Amino acid sequence: MDGGRSGGHSGVMQRIEPLAGDQFAPLTTYLNTASSGLLPARSAAALRAAVEESGSYGTMGLDYFGPAAAARTAFARLIHVPPERVAIGGAVAVHVALIAGSLPEGAEVLVPEGEFSSLVNPLAVRSGIKLRTAPLAELADAVRPGTALVAFAAVQARDGRIADMDAVREAARAHGARTLVDATQAAGWLPLRAGDFDYLVCGAYKWLLCPRGTSFLVCGGEGPESDGLEALHAGWVAGADPMEANYGPVQRLAADARRYDEPHAHYSYVGAEHSLALLNELGVETVYAHDLALADRYRAGLAERGHPPVPAPGSAIVSVPGLGDAAERMEAAGVRVAVRAGHLRAAFHLYNSSDDVDRLLELLE
């Protein structure tokens, strides 16, 4: 990805308007998507309608599986895989635990140093796994014979660094290792092809603008026989016919990745259906260009002010060492950012504009 889209003085750069402006009207200058995304108006309206419906039809609604199926298909479209390769759930850690539980005894797993806990913890607590770490920039070189799985985030939550996914994938293939990519900080703005990896997991409440309780697991193989996974938490929704899998041991698991589904939170997927539809309408490439233009505008302004950010070219997340103390002043001024490891972290997404960037830079004066 080419991060070099900025140029010139931030004060004379072209004005950038929000995408889908009719769907968002935040009361703050919201630059904290890396923590949690804003809910589009259409998703909020659908949620309100679902809650009203529950007063007469229960909390599974009139159609429990419909919104989840639509969300599954929409997510698959965003990351270029068939819907049959996508499982749904409520948290990334549960998906990772399923993968960890399916690894053989003694398997070596390689992860970057300081990786986000939802990816690392399920692997770390699985008895019999040998967990090894390496710096993110050296991850591909750290793959070795005997490595069973390389698990890493496409984009680092702490500072926005983008992993060299091609290099890691090729190194893993050369040594017969599988790959697990966490796309939580990438899907929705960074173009991805999930089929390039053995597994992809994604929490959808950040850049995908879905309610919390929406997450996806993608299997890159051709079917359950090649996934290398056991349906360890198979409930009734994992059955080939869920309505026949309610009692006793399931006789037939779903023939595709739905066998790895969790019983989903209905409201979360009601909202997710509409949020993911919006992103597909806009197109990830369009969102990528917009987000990166804003991030690069901010980087240019930081350079003018003598505040070099953590090097993360091509990223929509910009993290600046030494400015963590500014967050309180930002909050008082109605600007939402985050502090991670003492760095001031800003995340730029489709509802942001150049005015938001300029407001943030003004507060750093």
> Do the Cβ atoms of 297 and 16 come closer than 8 Å?
yes
Which pLDDT score is estimated for 4?
Answer: 35
Quickly list H helices, the chain.
41-57, 65-79, 92-102, 117-124, 139-142, 165-174, 224-227, 266-282, 284-304, 326-332, 354-363
Which pLDDT score is estimated for 11?
Answer: 43
Which pLDDT score is estimated for 226?
Answer: 85
Distance separating alpha carbons of residues 28 and 348, to the nearest angstrom: 14
Q: Structure tokens of 12?
A: 């004379």
Distance separating alpha carbons of residues 219 and 199, to the nearest angstrom: 5
Distance separating alpha carbons of residues 344 and 49, to the nearest angstrom: 38
> Do the Cβ atoms of 118 and 90 come closer than 8 Å?
no
Number of Cβ atoms within 10 Å of the Cβ of 290 = 23
pTM of the shown model: 0.94
Which pLDDT score is estimated for 246?
Answer: 87
3-state class (DSSP) for residue 80: coil
Task: State the maximum Cα–Cα separation within the chain, in Å, rounded to a whole number.
Answer: 68
Which pLDDT score is estimated for 72?
Answer: 98
Q: How many CA atoms lie within 13 A of 23 on its CB side?
A: 22
Distance separating alpha carbons of residues 133 and 140, to the nearest angstrom: 12
Q: For residue 264, give Cα distances in angstroms to 116, 144, 149, 235, 270.
A: 24, 38, 27, 11, 11
> Do the Cβ atoms of 188 and 208 come closer than 8 Å?
yes
Distance separating alpha carbons of residues 156 and 37, to the nearest angstrom: 16
- Mean pLDDT in runs of 10 for the chain (365 residues)? 37 82 96 98 98 97 97 98 97 98 97 97 96 98 97 97 98 97 98 95 98 96 85 94 88 95 97 98 98 98 96 97 93 96 96 97 92
Place of tokens 């793959």: 143
Residue 336 DSSP class: E
Measured in Å, how far apart are the chain's first and last C-alpha atoms?
A: 31
Handedness of CA 258, 264, 270, 274 (dihedral sign): negative
> Do the Cβ atoms of 62 and 53 come closer than 8 Å?
yes
Distance separating alpha carbons of residues 363 and 239, to the nearest angstrom: 55
